[in-house]
Structure 1
Amino acid sequence: MSTFKELGLKPEIVKALTDLGYENPTEIQEKAVPQVIASDQDLKAFAQTGTGKTAAFSLPILQKIDLNNNQVQAIILSPTRELAIQIARNIEEFSTHLKGFGVAAVYGGADISQQMRKLRKGVQIVVGTPGRTVDLIKRKSLRLDSVKWLVLDEADEMLNMGFKDELDQVLEVTPDSKQTLLFSATFPREVDRIARNYMNDPTQIDAGKRNSGSDNVTHEYYVVSDRNRYHALKRIADINPEIYGIIFCRTRRETQEVADKLIQDGYSADSLHGELSQAQRDIVMQKFRKKTLQILVATDVAARGLDVDNLTHVINYKLPDQIESYTHRSGRTGRANSTGISIAIVSPGERRKLSPIERKIGKSFVQKQVPEGKDILKIQLLKLIDKVKDIEVNESQINDFIPEIQEKLADLDRDELIKRFVSIEFNSFLSYYKNASDLNDISSSRRDRRDRDDSRGRRDNENMTRFFINIGRKDKLNPARLIGLINEQNITKNIEIGQIEILDTFSFFELDKNFTNETLAAFTRDSDVEFEGRGVNVEVTEKKRAGSRGGRRDGRKRRSDGGKNHRGANGDRRSKPSGPGSFNKGGFGRDRSDKGRRSKKD
């Protein structure tokens, strides 16, 4: 294994790395740093989450940056503000001994005037989210005509979040001669599309197996009925009293609900999602990094860029829409040579989603039984005893009270004293798990049928409007591209997207019902919305009644343009009934009983 000095880095950078405790480069750093230092060729680099991608692209840029020129020489784009802040913080640490160097992080949710003032002072590197970067360009506060390096970090996620227009606008004001560096933990088809559109004959570097999970992470799953999902989560937390982990949910609403329940039930938990202000997010992350919080409940988007080591668990309260997102989630644990556990809580109908994940990550899930009450009580009791044994006794403070204490306890023998002492702390657990049911008992057909009925009820969410769209799998549509198409219409910021159902020639999606008219107007604006060269038609549908079978799938209201490109419902293939056959078997699809949301961030 080489050293950072052997990679060709200047002494000031090596000293900063040594001060930070970095001894040897990781595989991606060992491959990427010399490549970028020695060549101006565009680069695609793939490595697992937690392997040091930020240093892999920032160290060679710091090596080659002109410290005598305070114009922006490198622009680094990231999908979320948390990731942008983290990258800028890392670069500040790496450049501690470089005199005259400056870096600025620009992102939404913060005072833009402060960011503008910092840019006016002059910095060589800007790390930004696409939306805020474009905003500053339009205000003429950010000039990129001297840029030598453009870094796209998690570029696939930026496309998924609907930032294609912003990427195009940034590229328009950067020189053709720049070097473009693309770094990603996963390799979906979107990355190839980015390379074709934004890069010039890129070379490619792989560190480890693409899309695979870390060798230090084990993957487990628990099968429970959907109504017992939260109860199973609590038991998993209780059987692991030293847990320090992230629980991933699919929507902001679900994230907040789970966090609120955990807090009410006495767990050391908090939430992280898009509705929090930047100040609130900073407070939550500070507490989590200091381990004041044991459990962070987060959405995928909000958790991007979290740089927290020594996580013991990642728990998928709901599986994500895309396999790549699972890879990102599980990669949060098992970092820096430590081990970790990635857990998926699934309903019986969701078990089929695990197979494509296993094929992608090259690892198998191990089914675990939800702990029974007696097992949890034993673990928690022993934890309490260990806590008592390890407690530091302040002899000088307590000695004066010992005689009175002994007098009051004189009538109790040793065994009775232990029982009473333990019960003070333990009665709440004993009460909660008294006669606790077996959450693994989901085999009866009656219970399975009830769970399916619950799923249908969730599909009829009164807060969402269901839309028909006349494009589907044959048009190369997938959930991520549909989310991107919705975001491109600029209906509103952070619109909540519910269930998505991709079929062969048409699809359905749900949006916040408060923006029904805006959605219809957006897709009829100038009648020029297209996807893969095909005109897009969006209509409101009536949600399918629970228990219905066959017949027309949805009764659709024509959109306000008179139903252009509309086909009749009688005999139309769009009336195809739901069922296992309509699920996307070609990849990791969305379970229609769940809701997901991906929102555009700036």
Structure 2
Amino acid sequence: MKRGTNIIVATPGRLIDLIERKAINLEGINYVVLDEADEMLNMGFKDDIEFILKETINRDSIWLFSATMPPAIRQVSKRYMDNPHEITVGKVNSGNANIDHQYYSTQHVNRYETLKRIIDFNPGIYGIVFTRTKADAQNVTESLIREGYDIEALHGDLTQAQRDKVMARFREKSIQLLIATDVAARGIDVKEITHVINYELPDDTEVYTHRSGRTGRAGKSGVSVSLVTPRELYRLRQIEKLVNTKFHKMDIPSGKDVCRKQFFHFIDKMLQADISNGEYATYLPILQEKFADVDKEEIMQRVAALEFDRFLKYYENSADLNIRDSGKAGREGRSAERSSGREGRSSRSSNGNYQRLFVNLGTKDGFYKASFLQFILDMSGLSKDVLGKIDMKDMNSWVEIDPSAGNKMIKALDGKNYRGRKIRMNDAEQGGGRRR
């Protein structure tokens, strides 16, 4: 910078540090570009961005690049941009015609087992599994690694060096799957991804388009899979309308289906194996001697036993994970759909069985509903299923939560600091915040 430069690429924090140390003067800057502007705001950089914009007093224009257009982005554009033009590349929220959108309906308790079935039923899978939080990403990754799967996690706790190492292994296909959060997966551009799996649907329906677009690139076909509970079906319908694409309901494979698919995949691989370059002829006399008294059928059985013993033992008494009671599932789905009109309040909320928590964080702190939800779940390590309605105001918010998880949420957040401000969370019905 001292020698002179035309373009500076920086993170907000580092740039502010340089400004405050008088190591850089932005008065001569003509253009300001914010890449991934929506995620910058989602991660709490709103004040940093506004500070930088105030320093570029002689700029000619600002360019905001964003995969989605949440209200916070529009607020920045209205405040700092004069008569801005919005340019959309391609159709808004359009789905790739090369992508087959599928969903599996399962109970929440079977979500992880359903994920395993899908992975095992697609032995040639090369893809990304999206989780809602980094805690979910780490938990799913650790569970699958313990069971022998070639995978890695990609989330916000990784250093840049760790992230680069994971991505290098993924591009080389040394690992079969990435388990990633939406924030960590930003900017991933890898060809030949066969599957994107939504372990949970994204909180922001627009994010679905961003996730599914990781597959079906460069003219190739791809599959976008979503795991949903009956109560989440209404959100799936919302996404269907958003991307203007029909989702295909799939049956969760049985244990026998998985074993059969794996068996034929192995046979195909064995028949396609290249034996032209190895010194296999050297060992043929030994092999012929060893197998002289073993017929071909027994050899095939022994090969199958070596390759599939683990699968057969695991799946021999496996349960049917499909929801067969269509009447009950339909009622639950319709109940959830009706509740969506009440801002996500579930049937349990209407019965008054939720505990109501007050917290002194709101939209003035740079949150919108999806980012606030992710923040409190990351802090507490809880699952989204324990939550009901979230009511956000400028300075405060109210959170409905299963009573069994209320104390854990309070202990995780109350007294902590957020951007220099002490968080206060307590039971709203026992002297906490009053709704305004």
Question: Could you say which TM-score interval applies, normalised by the shorter chain?
Answer: 0.7 to 0.9
Secondary structure of 1:168 counterpart: helix
1:512 to 1:170, Cα distance in 2 relative to 1, 3 A? farther
Aligned to 2:391: 503
Counterpart mapping for 1:403-482 below 5 A:
403-441=285-323, 443=325, 467-469=357-359, 478-480=368-370, 482=372
1:334 to 1:512, Cα distance in 2 relative to 1, 3 A? farther
Gaps of 5+ in 2: 332-345, 350-354, 401-405
1:197 to 1:483, Cα distance in 2 relative to 1, 3 A? farther
1:141 to 1:311, Cα distance in 2 relative to 1, 3 A? farther
Percent identity between the aligned chains?
42
Instruction: Give the whole-Å Cα distance in 1 for the aligned partners of 2:269 and 2:419.
Output: 61
- Aligned equivalent of 2:12, options 115, 130, 139: 130
Aligned to 1:518: 416
Deviations, residues 536-574 of structure 1 (Å, cap 9, x unaligned): xx5412xxxxxxxxxxxx54354xxxxxxx54xxxxx79
Deviations, residues 443-462 of structure 1 (Å, cap 9, x unaligned): 2899999xxxxxx9xx9xxx
Supply the AA of the counterpart residue of 1:507: W
Supply the AA of the counterpart residue of 1:518: K
Supply the AA of the counterpart residue of 2:233: R
| TM superposition shift of 1:234 | 0.9
Instruction: Give the whole-Å Cα distance in 1 for the aligned partners of 2:329 and 2:235.
Output: 21
Q: Does 1:540 align with 2:414?
A: no
1:262 to 1:521, Cα distance in 2 relative to 1, 3 A? closer
1:167 to 1:206, Cα distance in 2 relative to 1, 3 A? same
Instruction: Give the whole-Å Cα distance in 2 for the aligned partners of 1:417 and 1:334.
Output: 40
Q: Does 1:335 align with 2:225?
A: no
Aligned to 2:82: 200
Instruction: Give the whole-Å Cα distance in 1 for the aligned partners of 2:115 and 2:58.
Output: 51
**Contact 1:248 / 1:298 at 8 angstroms: preserved in 2?**
yes
Instruction: Give the whole-Å Cα distance in 2 for the aligned partners of 1:503 and 1:390.
Output: 58
Counterpart mapping for 1:319-334 below 5 A:
319-334=201-216
| TM superposition shift of 1:170 | 0.9
Supply the AA of the counterpart residue of 1:513: K
Instruction: Give the whole-Å Cα distance in 1 for the aligned partners of 2:51 and 2:369.
Output: 25
**Contact 2:414 / 2:425 at 8 angstroms: preserved in 1?**
no
Aligned to 1:290: 172
Instruction: Give the whole-Å Cα distance in 1 for the aligned partners of 2:16 and 2:307.
Output: 56
Stretch of structure 1 that moved more, 417-426 or 502-511? 502-511
Stretch of structure 1 that moved more, 236-245 or 131-140? 131-140
**Contact 1:374 / 1:433 at 8 angstroms: preserved in 2?**
yes
| TM superposition shift of 1:358 | 1.5
TM-score (norm 1): 0.60
Instruction: Give the whole-Å Cα distance in 2 for the aligned partners of 1:181 and 1:311.
Output: 31
Aligned to 1:303: 185
Secondary structure of 2:8 counterpart: strand
Secondary structure of 2:416 counterpart: helix
| TM superposition shift of 1:524 | 6.5
Instruction: Give the whole-Å Cα distance in 1 for the aligned partners of 2:159 and 2:267.
Output: 41
Stretch of structure 1 that moved more, 210-219 or 363-372? 210-219
**Contact 1:312 / 1:341 at 8 angstroms: preserved in 2?**
yes
Instruction: Give the whole-Å Cα distance in 2 for the aligned partners of 1:472 and 1:281.
Output: 32
Q: Does 1:367 align with 2:241?
A: no
Supply the AA of the counterpart residue of 1:236: I
Instruction: Give the whole-Å Cα distance in 2 for the aligned partners of 1:265 and 1:340.
Output: 26
Instruction: Give the whole-Å Cα distance in 2 for the aligned partners of 1:496 and 1:158.
Output: 22
Instruction: Give the whole-Å Cα distance in 2 for the aligned partners of 1:496 and 1:171.
Output: 34
Q: Size of the alignment, in residue pairs?
A: 400
Instruction: Give the whole-Å Cα distance in 2 for the aligned partners of 1:497 and 1:434.
Output: 34
| TM superposition shift of 1:396 | 6.2
Counterpart mapping for 1:169-188 below 5 A:
169-188=51-70
**Contact 2:30 / 2:61 at 8 angstroms: preserved in 1?**
yes
- Aligned equivalent of 1:248, options 127, 130, 134: 130
1:354 to 1:379, Cα distance in 2 relative to 1, 3 A? same
Supply the AA of the counterpart residue of 2:314: Y
Stretch of structure 1 that moved more, 220-229 or 507-516? 507-516
Instruction: Give the whole-Å Cα distance in 2 for the aligned partners of 1:247 and 1:512.
Output: 30
**Contact 1:255 / 1:298 at 8 angstroms: preserved in 2?**
yes
Aligned to 2:336: none
| TM superposition shift of 1:120 | 4.7
Q: In angstroms, what is the RMSD of aligned CA positions?
A: 3.5
| TM superposition shift of 1:187 | 3.0
Instruction: Give the whole-Å Cα distance in 2 for the aligned partners of 1:370 and 1:225.
Output: 12
**Contact 2:28 / 2:59 at 8 angstroms: preserved in 1?**
no
Supply the AA of the counterpart residue of 2:398: S
Instruction: Give the whole-Å Cα distance in 2 for the aligned partners of 1:202 and 1:185.
Output: 17
Aligned to 2:272: 390
Instruction: Give the whole-Å Cα distance in 2 for the aligned partners of 1:512 and 1:313.
Output: 38
Supply the AA of the counterpart residue of 1:281: R
Deviations, residues 511-555 of structure 1 (Å, cap 9, x unaligned): 583552135996569xxxxxxxxxxxx5412xxxxxxxxxxxx54
Secondary structure of 2:270 counterpart: helix
Aligned to 2:25: 143
Deviations, residues 432-479 of structure 1 (Å, cap 9, x unaligned): 211221110352899999xxxxxx9xx9xxxxx984147999xx9851
Secondary structure of 1:218 counterpart: strand
Aligned to 1:156: 38
Counterpart mapping for 1:81-96 below 5 A:
none
Counterpart mapping for 1:216-227 below 5 A:
216-227=98-109
| TM superposition shift of 1:248 | 0.8
Instruction: Give the whole-Å Cα distance in 2 for the aligned partners of 1:497 and 1:163.
Output: 23
1:556 to 1:212, Cα distance in 2 relative to 1, 3 A? farther
Aligned to 1:5: none
Supply the AA of the counterpart residue of 2:306: I
Supply the AA of the counterpart residue of 1:421: V
| TM superposition shift of 1:137 | 2.5
Instruction: Give the whole-Å Cα distance in 2 for the aligned partners of 1:149 and 1:337.
Output: 35
**Contact 1:186 / 1:210 at 8 angstroms: preserved in 2?**
no
Supply the AA of the counterpart residue of 2:136: E
Instruction: Give the whole-Å Cα distance in 2 for the aligned partners of 1:418 and 1:191.
Output: 61
Secondary structure of 1:220 counterpart: strand
1:121 to 1:300, Cα distance in 2 relative to 1, 3 A? farther
- Aligned equivalent of 1:556, options 419, 430, 433: 430
1:120 to 1:315, Cα distance in 2 relative to 1, 3 A? farther
Aligned to 1:64: none
Instruction: Give the whole-Å Cα distance in 2 for the aligned partners of 1:127 and 1:514.
Output: 36
| TM superposition shift of 1:128 | 2.8
**Contact 2:38 / 2:67 at 8 angstroms: preserved in 1?**
no
Supply the AA of the counterpart residue of 1:358: E
Instruction: Give the whole-Å Cα distance in 1 for the aligned partners of 2:204 and 2:217.
Output: 22
| TM superposition shift of 1:354 | 0.8
| TM superposition shift of 1:267 | 1.2
**Contact 2:240 / 2:247 at 8 angstroms: preserved in 1?**
yes
- Aligned equivalent of 1:313, options 178, 186, 195: 195
1:433 to 1:518, Cα distance in 2 relative to 1, 3 A? closer
Stretch of structure 1 that moved more, 502-511 or 155-164? 502-511
Instruction: Give the whole-Å Cα distance in 1 for the aligned partners of 2:224 and 2:118.
Output: 12
Instruction: Give the whole-Å Cα distance in 2 for the aligned partners of 1:520 and 1:256.
Output: 24
